[in-house]
Each structure stands twice: as structure tokens, then as C-alpha cells.
Amino acid sequence: MKTYSFLYLVAGCLLFLTSCKENFLELYPEGQINEQNFYKTTLDFQQAVNGAYVPLRDIANIAFYMDEMRSDNTHYEYNAKDRGGLGYEQLADFLDDAQNGVIATRYQAAYNGISRTNVILDRLAGITFVMADADKKQISGEAKALRAHYYFDLVRHYGAVPLHLHEVKDSRNAYLARSGVDSVYTQIIQDFTDALALLSAPAKFPASGRVTKGMVATELALVYITRKDYAKAIPLLQSVTTMGYTLLDNYRDVFDPTKKNNAESIFEVQYRTGANDGQSSAFIYRFLPVSPSSQNMLGVNYNNSIGGWNIPTDDLLSQYEPGDKRLEPSIGVVAGHYNSNTDFLPDSIVSINAKLPASVIARRFIRKYYHPPYTLPTRTEYNAPENWPVFRYPHALLLLAEALNETGASAQALPYLNQVRKRAGLKDVTVTAQADVRAAIDKERRVELAFENYRWLDLVRQDKAIAVMTAFGKVQKEKYGYLLPTSYTVTNNRLVYAIPFREMQLNTKLVQNTGY
């Protein structure tokens, strides 16, 4: 049995983990799991923790719309025949509003995760049975780390948010006003700091897929770097370099679904196929072109109507240096033709460097999550097995290089930067001026972490989003006639997303972000 299978346990039976009561008669069937007969054993708590991981998939399923397509890394295929994806397009074009479904899904998923962790922590504090100290530390550490992770996701995308830290038992504490950004970050740092003391580094690889000390140290360091508190990030990231992580020899292997949770993986969102239980991924279907026949793309004859998203841009492609070994595994091309109905029909998958005849229609796609052949999707499953990377060891190395450079230790930053470049087959960076090293690190992050949902967040935290995306938008509007004149109007209010409309309706204490 694979070590990462823990996430696929009892998620479906944990829907009761939050509740509101107002003097209602409450009857609990004796044979049914509920909040009154659960949390009686260590196994109950372990299963509850498993359930707290589930919202990670809900976020990963749609995060690329908000984090990659919002940036200059990717765009979308305009589908004149099907305008059902307008909300996705609006996220890329900076035309989204509070009623955007993706924005609402992410917000709700994060609070679902927070709610589950709050219940675990509150119930753990009040247990009446004897739990082994090691189990108690593990459960508390995972719950606190996940809560911090969910709040970090929220604060970066929505700004100030309500800070729920306890189980919601009645309507009086169900609806809170937004806490300031600083308060949210204070809680994130506290939870990660607590978790760091409670959790251990992975003992072996492939790892379990659970939160570990390595994940907590890396994400806490990113929190500090986001807050421009670089000095505090350095010892955390240095500790990660001693935890047994390493760069795999082949960049392509990092994303291979047969090599999940490998020695380069610090944390990844877990997916699987074969159980028909809603836990497979669907990224590749969305990243490949729209086509009524996907036989030559996926190995199954499937009408891929959900594709055409997250398409690599010319701007990103220009950032790959000659000989970069990451290009081929990262970006591919579907070569095909149009039928009489102007539907795109794929003929083959070819290299991004292939020289194709002018008669061939070439569509770029993200290749790092592409591992055919796939199983024919069912009514409820897309049957793709790829995990989603959250933190990889090169990410930690590049964060360490950034933190060192920003504290004036530019020469000390270069070995960490060049470790990543060496695997890619590139020459060492030798410049030592802080601005030059900063530019080299930023470029390396963009290429190494392409399509892993960091580009937009990097632009925001580095105060470059408005300038970069305004310039990129000008090029896009010259290239694509379907873009509205108001597209890519990138202002300060667009650096965070709207609080979802439904949340505003439910909670009258909320105040909307400026400009929405």
C-alpha cells in the first residue's frame, strides 16, 4: 500500500465537523457518525485530520485561473462557439467581479479547511481519554500547519479576512468582521511556529504526503519573505537543506505520477485514480486544446470540451535560455488541423522546438502534468493521476537565495541559485551586484516554478504586478482582437480579489475590497 494513501480515507464522513445550534431538538442516530459520538479515539482524530486535507484539492483544482492566468505566464484559447468560460477569461483579463465563481470556490474551500482544523484543535484540547504524546503532537502540528496554510492562501488573495480560530457552535460566532492583514499574518506565523516545534522532517522518501517540518519551515519562510522580513526566513530555509531533500537528476521525473512524493517534493496535493471517488485530477484536460476527439492527445477518444486554459505565452517562452533542460518537459505542442466545422483535431504531440509546416495548426500546452495514456473519463471522474506540487526543494533553494540577497549577502546567494541552474544544464550566474542577482533569481523562479501557481503571487509581493501586467496587457490587446479595451486595467485594487458576493450577502459585517 502506498504511503500517501492516508488522504483518501473518510473524507466523505466528515461533513458534520462544523455546526450551528440554536435551541433545536437534536437527535443523533446511534449508528451514524456525528459530532457527539466522534472524537472518542485517537483514530477518530487522525481521520478528522485526513479530512482537513481534502479542501487542498478543491483549491488546487482551480487555483491556476487566479495565479497563473492572472500573470504573464499563461493565457487562454478564446472559444467563440462556447462562451461558458467567460468567468475564467475575466480572471485573466482583470475584468472579474464579486460574483466570479472561481473566486467564491477558493474562498469557501479555504474556510472549509479552516473550519475542520478548528474543530480538531478545540476537541483535542478537551479530550477525556489518554492519547499518546507523539500522536497528540502530530495531530496538533498537522492541524495548525493546515490552518496557517489556508489563512496564508486567503490573505494573499483577498486581503483582510475574518479570523475564525474556534469551532462554530452557534450563529453568534458564525459571522465575524474582517481582521486586519497584520492580525491574520500574526496568527499564520504563530500557527506555523507551533507546528514547527511539533512535527518532524520526513523520515524517508517517497514521503507520506502529510505536512512535515520541511513544509512548515518552507512556507513560514515564504510568509516572512512575503512580509519582507528576509532575515527570519534564512535560518528556516537553511534548516530545510539539512532534511534530506535533493534535486532529482531529471526534471521530467519530478512530475511523474509514478514517482509521487519523491525526494524533491516538500509538499504536494494528493490525487489518485481507480476508485471512482472524486479524487482524480483533471488539470491536463483543461490544459490541452478544446477538441471533439482527444484520441491523439490522451489515448482515449473523448470530447475535451473543458480545455483551452492556462496556455503558455510567448513572454514566458522567451525566458528559457538556450539549452535549458526544463523547456521540453514543461511545454509541449499539439499539432493538428481543422475539420469542416473549424473544430481543432489533434494529430500528434510534438516538441516545443519542432519545426512544423505552415499547414499544421500548433497549440501549446503545459506538458509537465501530461503522462498518457489516460483512462476514459466517467460521468464523475476525469481519471488523471497527477499530483499538484505546492513546494519543491528548488523552491526552498531559490527562496534562500532571495533572502540572502535581500539582506546584502549576494555572493552567498549564488550557490543556491546555481544548484537549480546546474540541474537545468545552464551555466552558473557569476554577477554579484544585488540588483543583478535579484533579477537572476526572479527569472529562475519564473522558469523553474512555471505553471505551479506562483508567478502572480511573486509579482504582487515584489511590487511589480501593476507595471509588468500593464505592459503585458498592451501586447495582448494588440495581439488578440477579442480583448475589451478595459482589459488589463491593472490598479492597486486588482492586487487582491473581491470578497465573494454570496459571503457579503450572508455576513453583513463584511466590507468589500475597494474597487469591487
CB within 8 Å of 355: residues ≥ 6 apart: none
Parse the chain into domains and list their residue ranges: 1-181, 283-371
Neighbours of 471 (CB within 10 A): 14
pLDDT at 309: 97
Q: Is cis: bond before 373, omega within 30 of 0?
A: yes
C-alpha cell at 404: 540572502
Q: What is the dihedral of CA 173, 46, 194, 167, to 10 degrees?
A: 0
DSSP character at residue 258: G
Whole-number CA gyration radius for the chain: 23
Give me the pLDDT at residue 412, please: 98
pLDDT given for residue 57 in this prediction: 96
Contact yes or no for 67/41 (Cβ under 8 A):
no
Instruction: Provide the CATH topology of domain 1-181.
Output: 1.25.40
This prediction's pTM: 0.93
**pLDDT at residue 31, rounded to an integer:** 53
Other C-beta atoms within 10 Å of 159: how many?
A: 18
pLDDT below 50 — which residues of the chain?
1-28, 30
Can you give the pLDDT at residue 10? 36
